[in-house]
Chains A and B, each alone.
Chain A
């Protein structure tokens, strides 16, 4: 297992497709977090995020041979698969997820607060930001999630979204403007927000 962790995603996939369960386990543990969070940021539903994560890796088990390393990295390929499953899940469960924000329920349990007041303020900020992100149209939301929240390069985001790099740039530019306007209307966007965020992240 120690050797497997040194392998790249593509090498792990090759071994997993050859029947190596350990390689598949390492690959899953390495990539399930980003895929889960991508689906969570896109849908706002932990249920959908878990379902999408399962579907993505099941797809990889069954049709992993379709992956072409020359067209991009495996991480971007997985984001692309996840994107399609999120779309299907949102079409299926739209009234259920209603662009809610599960930050309070799930993230609060995971974070350790150094200062309760600061924690409450940050949680409120996160909720407001998440709602603003979820209220974006889907094309703009996915570039924000891919490029800003998952820090994919424009090229990888273009591979995941299945469009050109210029399209990603223009969509991102437009999405930032929309997001800025939405956040200005929200009370959560106060002058102190950037300070709180910067302090807690660092």
Chain B
């Protein structure tokens, strides 16, 4: 027997048949051929090892719970209904319910996000509409056509006071600021309200911004205060200086215009 014939014959046998081979031709060839003898010895070792594993796991079988579950499914199938989910699939409906809750939660979150974004958008539009006049550099008083602008004149007599529509004292910061320059010359400062159309024409021209104010303070209401300062010199040409001040309700002067 050649090695090729040995391999051909060995391939036709199972591992168990080969490990217990009693074929004389095979045994004779194994004794003569060292390579084929080693190969057969290896096959016998593998067979013995697998046999040990086979013996070790021979008594293993599925648990009784599997049989019960299968019989339940069999009865339901025989009754014509779909079988219930098996033991290992119990988690699937729970996962489905959880995913359903997550889906609803996602819809609620999206709706809330839309509402909040709309609210913020409206607020932003309102805010930007307030801040536009400040950014243009024009005095805030000119941007409100319906706003009644008080005009303050330095009074030397009480007659003019009687003609004013609305009178009130200028707030203390303004007064303190004007007094800081020359408090003695400013006899009195009265706020007088005039119509919006009257002030609209001259409000835009000639004002000089005094400060860079932040949008919050500039967006608040303001008033125009006319200050009249007595003539400085003793000469006849000297005239009292008249200026319009745009004063915010926080008392800060935002712009000034020299009238004469």
Which among A55, A133, A147, A196 is the interface contact of B53 at CB below 8 angstroms?
Answer: A133
Residues 41 to 79 of chain A near chain B (Cβ within 8 Å)? 41, 46, 49-51, 53-55, 57-58, 61-62
Q: Do A180 and B45 touch (CB < 8 A)?
A: yes
How many residues from B make CB contacts under 8 Å with A? 40
Tell me the minimal C-beta distance from A35 to chain B in angstroms: 8
Query: Within 8 Å of chain A (Cβ to Cβ): is B195?
Result: no
Tell me the minimal C-beta distance from A195 to chain B in angstroms: 8
Residues 40 to 66 of chain B near chain A (Cβ within 8 Å)? 42-63, 66
- A198 and B42 CA atoms in complex are apart in Å by 16
- A110 and B57 CA atoms in complex are apart in Å by 9
Residue of B nearest to A200 (CB): B55
Which among A57, A194, A196 is the interface contact of B44 at CB below 8 angstroms?
Answer: A194
Q: Do B57 and A129 touch (CB < 8 A)?
A: no
Query: Within 8 Å of chain B (Cβ to Cβ): is A97?
Result: no
A170-199 vs B, CB cutoff 8 Å, 1 = contact: the mask equals 001100110110011000110001101110
Specify which chain B residues have a CB less than 8 angstroms from the CB of A122 in the assembled complex: 52, 55-56
Specify which chain A residues have a CB less than 8 angstroms from the CB of B49 in the assembled complex: 125, 128-129, 132, 179, 183, 188-189, 193-194, 197
Query: Within 8 Å of chain B (Cβ to Cβ): is A159?
Result: no
Q: Do A194 and B48 touch (CB < 8 A)?
A: yes
Q: Do B48 and A24 touch (CB < 8 A)?
A: no
Which among B59, B63, B66 is the interface contact of A111 at CB below 8 angstroms?
Answer: B59
Residue of A nearest to B66 (CB): A54
Tell me whether A54 and B48 are in contact in the complex, defined as CB-CB below 8 angstroms, given that A62-B83, A103-B57, A169-B11 are known contacts: no
Q: Do A61 and B77 touch (CB < 8 A)?
A: yes
Q: Do A21 and B60 touch (CB < 8 A)?
A: no
Residue of A nearest to B10 (CB): A173
Specify which chain B residues have a CB less than 8 angstroms from the CB of A197 in the assembled complex: 48-49, 51-52, 55
Specify which chain A residues have a CB less than 8 angstroms from the CB of B53 in the assembled complex: 41, 103, 125-126, 129-130, 133, 149
Most A CB atoms within 10 A — which of B60, B62, B63, B88?
Answer: B62
Residue of B nearest to A173 (CB): B11
Q: Do B62 and A32 touch (CB < 8 A)?
A: yes
Q: Do A58 and B59 touch (CB < 8 A)?
A: no
- A58 and B48 CA atoms in complex are apart in Å by 36
Q: Do B88 and A51 touch (CB < 8 A)?
A: yes
Tell me the minimal C-beta distance from A53 to chain B in angstroms: 4
How many residues from A make CB contacts under 8 Å with B? 61
- A128 and B53 CA atoms in complex are apart in Å by 9
Q: Do B45 and A149 touch (CB < 8 A)?
A: no
Q: Do B52 and A129 touch (CB < 8 A)?
A: yes
Q: Do B15 and A176 touch (CB < 8 A)?
A: yes
Specify which chain A residues have a CB less than 8 angstroms from the CB of B73 in the assembled complex: 58, 61
Query: Within 8 Å of chain B (Cβ to Cβ): is A148?
Result: yes
Q: Do B71 and A193 touch (CB < 8 A)?
A: no
Specify which chain A residues have a CB less than 8 angstroms from the CB of B15 in the assembled complex: 147-148, 172, 176
A128-139 vs B, CB cutoff 8 Å, 1 = contact: the mask equals 111011000000
Q: A33-B62, A111-B55 are in contact. List 10 more A-B contacts (CB 8 A).
A: A21-B75, A28-B70, A32-B67, A40-B60, A50-B66, A103-B53, A129-B49, A148-B14, A149-B54, A198-B51
Residues of A participating in the B interface, judged by any CB pair closer than 8 Å:
16, 19, 21, 24-25, 28-29, 32-33, 36-37, 40-41, 46, 49-51, 53-55, 57-58, 61-62, 103, 106-107, 110-111, 122-123, 125-126, 128-130, 132-133, 144, 147-149, 151, 169, 172-173, 176-177, 179-180, 183-184, 188-189, 193-194, 196-198, 200-201
Residues of B participating in the A interface, judged by any CB pair closer than 8 Å:
11, 14-16, 42-63, 66-67, 69-71, 73-75, 77-78, 83, 86-88
- Could you name 23 residue pairs across A and B whose Cβ atoms are closer than 8 Å? A24-B74, A28-B67, A32-B66, A36-B60, A37-B58, A37-B60, A53-B62, A54-B62, A58-B83, A103-B56, A110-B59, A125-B52, A125-B53, A126-B53, A129-B49, A133-B53, A149-B53, A151-B14, A172-B15, A176-B15, A180-B46, A183-B46, A197-B52
